[in-house]
Amino acid sequence: MFLKLRKSPKPTRELPSSDSSVIKKVQAFTMLSPDRLGNLFRLASELVSRSVGGDFVECGACRGGSGAIMAYIAKGEGWKRKVWLVDSFMGHPEPSKISGIDREIMKEWAGTMIASQADVRKALKTVGAYSEKHIRIVPGWFQDSLLSIKIRKIALLHIDADWYDATLLCLEKLYPSVVSGGYVVVDDYDNPSFPGVKQAVREFFADKAHEISFSFEVSPALTVKKG
C-alpha cells in the first residue's frame, strides 16, 4: 500500500544565488512556488551529478515555467538528454467518464489555463535553454499525445495535470519508462482543491511500494524515487 512508503526529509540546502536567479526568472511563466521549483532544480541537478541517464519529461507544461527549470539543467549538462513538454495547449479539459471525484470542479475549470507553445519557448529562452534539437513540445490531450510519442528512458517525470484521469494516464503511460534511480514528481498531490491527484497516485502506487526507495513532500508536491 502506498502509505507504507518511507518519508524522506525535504531537502533544505539553499541554492547558490546564481541558481536562485533562474528560479526568479521563470516565475512569470509558472504557477509553482519557488520551493517546488527549487525541488525540481535540485532533483534534476542530482540526476545529472549521479549520471542517471534518461530524458526529463513534464506533463502539464502550460506556460513553460517549471519545464524551463528542467531544460536549464539539461542545457547546463550539454544537452545529453531531451526535455519533453506536454500539454493540451487548449487549457483544462471537460470531465471524462472516469473523472469521478473531480467531475464538478472540472466543469468550472474547463477551458482555463490556456497557454501556447510560443509561451513555452519564451520561458525557455528567458533562461537561455531553448534548443530546437533537444526540446520536444508535444501538443494535444494526453490520451492522444502520449500515444504518439515514444520515450525510452525517463530520469525525471514531472506531472502537473491537476486531475485524477490525467494524472493516472500519465503515470500508466510513462512510469514504466522511468529508470531505476529516477524521480517522479506529482504536483498538487496534497492540494485539497485537486483531490483526484492524490487518489490517482495512491491507486497507481498501491501495488508498487516495493519499487520505491523513498518519497517526500515539498507541499503540495510529492516526490517519489524509483528503485
Please give the residue ranges that form the binding site for ligand SAM (CB under 6 A).
30-32, 60-63, 65-66, 87-88, 91-93, 113, 115, 141-142, 160-163, 166
What is the rounded CA–CA span in Å between residue 89 and residue 122?
Answer: 15
Q: What backbone phi and psi angles, to 5 degrees, belong to 97?
A: -60, -30
What is the rounded CA–CA span in Å between residue 205 and residue 211?
Answer: 9
Nearest to 82 by CA among 65, 70, 94, 91: 70
Which residue, 70 or 155, is less far from ligand SAM as judged by CB?
Answer: 70
The CB-of-60 to ligand SAM minimum distance in angstroms stands at 3
The CB-of-90 to ligand SAM minimum distance in angstroms stands at 7
Which residue, 79 or 141, is less far from ligand SAM as judged by CB?
Answer: 141
The CB-of-168 to ligand SAM minimum distance in angstroms stands at 11
Three-class HEC string of 20-86: HHHHHHHHHHCCCCHHHHHHHHHHHHHHHHCCCCCEEEEECCCCCHHHHHHHHHHHHCCCCCCEEEE
The CB-of-105 to ligand SAM minimum distance in angstroms stands at 12
Other CB atoms closer than 10 Å to residue 173's CB: what's the count? Answer: 17
Cell of 205: 502506487
Which residue, 33 or 131, is less far from ligand SAM as judged by CB?
Answer: 33
Our separate counts of H helices and E strands in the chain read 8, 7
Instruction: Report which secondary-structure segment, H or E, holds 159.
Output: strand 154-159
The CB-of-48 to ligand SAM minimum distance in angstroms stands at 20
Which residue, 19 or 211, is less far from ligand SAM as judged by CB?
Answer: 19
Which residue, 5 or 72, is less far from ligand SAM as judged by CB?
Answer: 72
